[in-house]
């Protein structure tokens, strides 16, 4: 099956780099489709190569401890995703200045996380580097505009919230990468809905970035998820951190609505809600239960109390857990799309609906809390 998939990806890639085919896409079929297929085929071609390199270099994830996989697994899947994502955008040949900064920042995050996959970097150093990269983004103009941007206090608040948003979601994506296909699938779903919003609002650059990430995750996904076999390769921190960083920064870069604060605020929250919820839930519970008593404890704590761990206790099957989270993510994404065309009252009801869904999931999670740590 892998050979057939790889062969199709190879033929597709050869066709896409042919000048005549490339011109056909740019002039008639659409740049977005070219980017999607280019990222998909490149990711599918590179992933087996990364498996080979990871095994030879010893960059693998060994089973044991809190990990639920049972065999040694290569960790360089994120490198394939990163290279295919960047290659697809470069092949499009159109980038604005902030896109370049975003890609460069993501590359730095991926590089640092790759070293962490290989040699293990203390969490506090990774966090410091992430904050520094986000500050560079802010200086380039990728910053929230919730408060008056022409005042010092407004700028500082916007900057602080931007750091919390990007760094928080970067690590939340890393945290959810605990089952075969989970992070790659959630990333693809988030990218899809970001792309839909970009189409709705006429934001070409945002759409191209989202589509490039979607294609990269889809090309990697078959190697990371199987119904009857374990993953052949993992994203690793290099992949999950890179994806989380790019998508969260893209959400800040985008314009969500014109003169509609409910839509502007709630749309990205709903699209990223699974990541936000997991991060907030475990942080709050760890503090309340005394598992963490300081900021240092919080960034160093590693446990099996994430949403996928607790749902596994309830469902007893990893595939069911993965698809449950996929459908949850898609449901809230659809709510975000519906919200865009809703009236103020309907928008409030959509947000309330999402909150009720969260309560349902919280009840499920609480049922599995006594079997996690």
Q: Give the pLDDT score at 247.
A: 95
For the chain, the domain total comes to: 2
Residue 250, burial from CB neighbour count under 10 angstroms (0-12, 13-18, 19+):
buried
Domain stops at, among 232, 255, 278: 255
Full residue range of the structural domain in which residue 317 is found: 259-373
Q: How far is CA 31 from CA 18, 188, 230, 288, 338, in A?
A: 15, 19, 35, 50, 26
pLDDT band at 340 (very low <50, low <70, confident <90, very high): confident
Judge whether residue 297 has pLDDT over 80: no
| DSSP percent split of the chain into helix, strand, coil, nearest 5 | 75, 0, 20
Residues 71 and 220 in one domain: yes
Q: When comparing pLDDT for 304 and 75, which is higher?
A: 75
Average of pLDDT values for 267-283?
A: 89
Q: Strands, E, within 133-209: which ranges?
A: none
pLDDT band at 58 (very low <50, low <70, confident <90, very high): confident
Which tokens in the block code for residue 36?
A: 């999607």
Which tokens in the block code for residue 160?
A: 């602080």
Which tokens in the block code for residue 290?
A: 């005394």
Domain stops at, among 238, 255, 272: 255
Q: Give the pLDDT score at 83.
A: 95
pLDDT band at 316 (very low <50, low <70, confident <90, very high): confident
Q: Strands, E, within the chain: which ranges?
A: 60-61, 73-74
Indicate if the alpha-carbon torsion angle 33, 35, 36, 41 is positive or negative. positive
Which tokens in the block code for residue 53?
A: 């390199």
Report the distance separating Cα 16 and Cα 323, nearest Å. 32
Residues 220 and 324 in one domain: no
Average of pLDDT values for 50-75?
A: 79
Mean pLDDT of the chain: 86
Residues 240 and 298 in one domain: no
Residues 276 and 211 in one domain: no
- DSSP letters, 62-129, are ---TT----S-EE-THHHHHHHHHHHHHHHHT---HHHHHHHHHHHHHHHHHHHHHHH---HHHHHHH
Judge whether residue 344 has pLDDT over 80: no
Q: When comparing pLDDT for 90 and 351, which is higher?
A: 90
Residues 287 and 238 in one domain: no
Q: Are 136 and 268 in contact (CB under 8 A)?
A: no
Q: Give the pLDDT score at 108.
A: 95
Report the distance separating Cα 283 and Cα 155, nearest Å. 27
**pLDDT digits 0-9 by tens, 88-102:** 999 887 778 888 899
Residues 123 and 225 in one domain: yes
Where do we find the tokens 């360089």? Answer: 76
Report the distance separating Cα 159 and Cα 139, nearest Å. 9
pLDDT band at 44 (very low <50, low <70, confident <90, very high): very high
Residues 156 and 276 in one domain: no
Residues 189 and 312 in one domain: no
Report the distance separating Cα 252 and Cα 283, nearest Å. 23
pLDDT band at 370 (very low <50, low <70, confident <90, very high): low
Q: Give the pLDDT score at 67.
A: 60
pLDDT band at 369 (very low <50, low <70, confident <90, very high): low
Q: Give the pLDDT score at 33.
A: 92
Judge whether residue 42 has pLDDT over 90: yes
Residues 299 and 250 in one domain: no
Q: Give the pLDDT score at 64.
A: 60
Q: With pLDDT > 90 as the criterion, what percentage of the chain qualifies?
A: 41
Which tokens in the block code for residue 22?
A: 């490339």
Q: Give the pLDDT score at 373.
A: 58
Q: Give the pLDDT score at 349.
A: 82
Q: How far is CA 223 from CA 58, 176, 252, in A?
A: 19, 18, 31
pLDDT band at 372 (very low <50, low <70, confident <90, very high): low
Q: Are 81 and 243 in contact (CB under 8 A)?
A: yes
Q: Give the pLDDT score at 228.
A: 78
Domain stops at, among 196, 223, 255: 255
**pLDDT digits 0-9 by tens, 126-145:** 999 999 999 999 998 888 88
Residues 89 and 127 in one domain: yes
**pLDDT digits 0-9 by tens, 168-226:** 999 999 989 888 899 999 999 999 999 998 888 888 888 899 999 999 999 999 999 98
Q: Are 139 and 174 in contact (CB under 8 A)?
A: no
Residues 242 and 330 in one domain: no
Q: Are 82 and 107 in contact (CB under 8 A)?
A: yes
Q: Give the pLDDT score at 260.
A: 64
Residues 118 and 220 in one domain: yes
């Amino acid at each position: 099956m892998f050979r057939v998939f790889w062969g199709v990806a190879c033929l597709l890639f050869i066709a896409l780099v042919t000048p005549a085919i490339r011109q056909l896409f740019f002039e008639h079929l659409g740049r977005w489709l070219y980017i999607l297929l280019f990222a998909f085929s490149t990711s599918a071609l590179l992933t087996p190569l990364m498996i080979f390199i990871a095994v030879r270099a010893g960059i693998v994830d060994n089973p044991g401890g809190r990990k639920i996989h049972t065999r040694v697994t290569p960790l360089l899947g994120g490198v394939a995703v990163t290279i295919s994502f960047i290659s697809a955008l470069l092949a499009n040949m159109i980038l604005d200045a902030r896109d370049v900064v975003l890609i460069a920042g993501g590359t730095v995050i991926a590089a640092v996380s790759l070293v962490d996959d290989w040699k293990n970097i203390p969490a506090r150093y990774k966090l410091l580097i992430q904050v520094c990269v986000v500050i560079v983004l802010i200086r380039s103009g990728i910053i929230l505009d919730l408060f008056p941007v022409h005042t010092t206090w407004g700028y500082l608040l916007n900057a602080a919230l931007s750091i919390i948003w990007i760094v928080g979601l970067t690590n939340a994506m890393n945290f959810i990468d605990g089952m075969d296909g989970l992070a790659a699938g959630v990333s693809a779903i988030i990218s899809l809905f970001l792309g839909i919003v970009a189409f709705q609002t006429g934001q070409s650059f945002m759409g191209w970035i989202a589509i490039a990430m979607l294609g990269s995750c889809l090309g990697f996904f078959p190697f990371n998820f199987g119904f009857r076999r374990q993953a052949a390769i993992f994203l690793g921190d290099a992949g999950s951190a890179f994806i989380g960083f790019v998508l969260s920064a893209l959400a800040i870069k985008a314009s969500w609505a014109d003169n509609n604060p409910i839509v502007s605020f709630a749309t990205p929250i709903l699209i990223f809600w699974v990541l936000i919820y997991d991060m907030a839930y475990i942080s709050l519970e760890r503090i309340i239960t005394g598992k963490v008593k300081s900021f240092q404890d919080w960034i160093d704590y590693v446990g099996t109390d994430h949403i996928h761990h607790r749902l596994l206790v309830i469902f007893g099957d990893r595939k069911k857990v993965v698809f449950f989270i996929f459908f949850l993510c898609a449901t809230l994404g659809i709510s975000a799309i519906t919200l865009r065309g809703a009236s103020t009252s309907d928008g409030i009801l959509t947000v309330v609906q999402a909150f009720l869904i969260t309560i349902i999931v919280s009840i499920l999670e609480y049922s599995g809390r006594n079997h996690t740590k």
